[in-house]
Structure 1
């Protein structure tokens, strides 16, 4: 039998846990925050499932949510596990549907108000000119080092300062996407050699025509024009 009433839920302020029945509880913290918890057992494990905060979730809504969880238990499902699975699928679908251009525009809307007008224009122009035509419509989760290099290669030999700025801007956008759980793993720093040495082209031969960088690196020749990129990997140079 239910023990809570809408009036009691609204007026009670003393910290503690108040039972409504059949596993539904109202928890009140020392700060006065009220939240609903459904406690149940699944495969001999006790679990607490949050159902939302009061007053956003009323007593009636909390009871309905608890009834739904009980139905899932009767079907042999773990309500909390099912919730986590749905959240994971939703994040995966969101990652697939978010392009680099969309994430970049969100980054600009968030940060540009704190920049000078000139700096904001430079950002937008560099993305529109160099980045969007190549990777703008690709899912942001699929952007990797090779694709960033495809953006940088055409401008590195002519305007290396611009290439460096474009690379940094891409990395900031990708890091922001990772913070929003649109990417996994770490963002690898992409770079293009600043000179076109005469190293012979092989797909996996390290280029030794220039000294290794202090950060320990391996350069690979990928075209007849010389070294195209380096990636930071541990190697004895």
Structure 2
């Protein structure tokens, strides 16, 4: 008997005879009312009753030939153990139904989190995923049974943050949806109650209206700020902030900087791809003032390879270290009522570069911005390191200038 292949399976028509698989005893592809679609069935003799039975294994091509064989072999293994696979499947469904009657949303969320977190590389995301549910969902519907939750429950859970914390609400909605999709896949519930919830909630402002830039310090007043508030960078927060300003990197990239990434002789800092937002390795040319700053940091004892370790625990500084410093010193920004942010200094640098006539490519490479146009990106195969070096030296001269601008 020939082994069934896709070319034959795709040719099946409504009035054809069942096609044997040719590898697994009893596995056949039966015609359906639709051309090129067939129903997998495994014929066997029940070890429990002695009756001949047909076990459905899904529809081709949704269930591929290889998948059907795997399922059929799995059933044959049960038969060899004198287990009726249809009876076993029915028992599993009943068990799932029983679980549906006792499993709460919180229980299900914990299961999903445990099963999924191994695939999430970002530890912070692992923690935030379940934390947002504990904060915004569990108090309202965490105690509810999965089978009892409907679209109104989801809407009332999201309503308090739907317009006031739009990004958070979006993430919470996605995570509720994830949990309920898991419940559907487990055959605990039939439909996902998150679908259509937006029709019970007011329309959110468009993304273009919601987007706010990070408050940035105007580039002309940075020298005054550095001289007055950072000074000789005699503590780790000041040193880190000055480093962020001079290199125009993201604060997270600077906080996690390790000595092994630096080639001080070649005056290059190479940030590995796994620490970059775009997941692409980034090289930073080190200006004279940056080298002096690093030399000072080398003289400070550190238990780890971190360039800017926390003075308390020796680990990474938190993202609040710079935020607190800037707020405490009331760092002036271009946003009324808000202090400048560490990330905003990247915008300050970009404005300085533009207004001082530096090519756009140089500035964009310095900021490690991803080129959105795929065609344009394919032609940009250099990071313009040496071209950027003189620009970063000029930027450093501006930043540490004592001249009141």
TM-score, length of structure 2 as denominator length:
0.31
Whichever structure has more helix as a proportion of its residues is 2
Q: Larger relative CO (CA 8 A, sep 6+): 1 or 2? A: 2
Whichever structure has more strand as a proportion of its residues is 1
TM-score, length of structure 1 as denominator length:
0.50
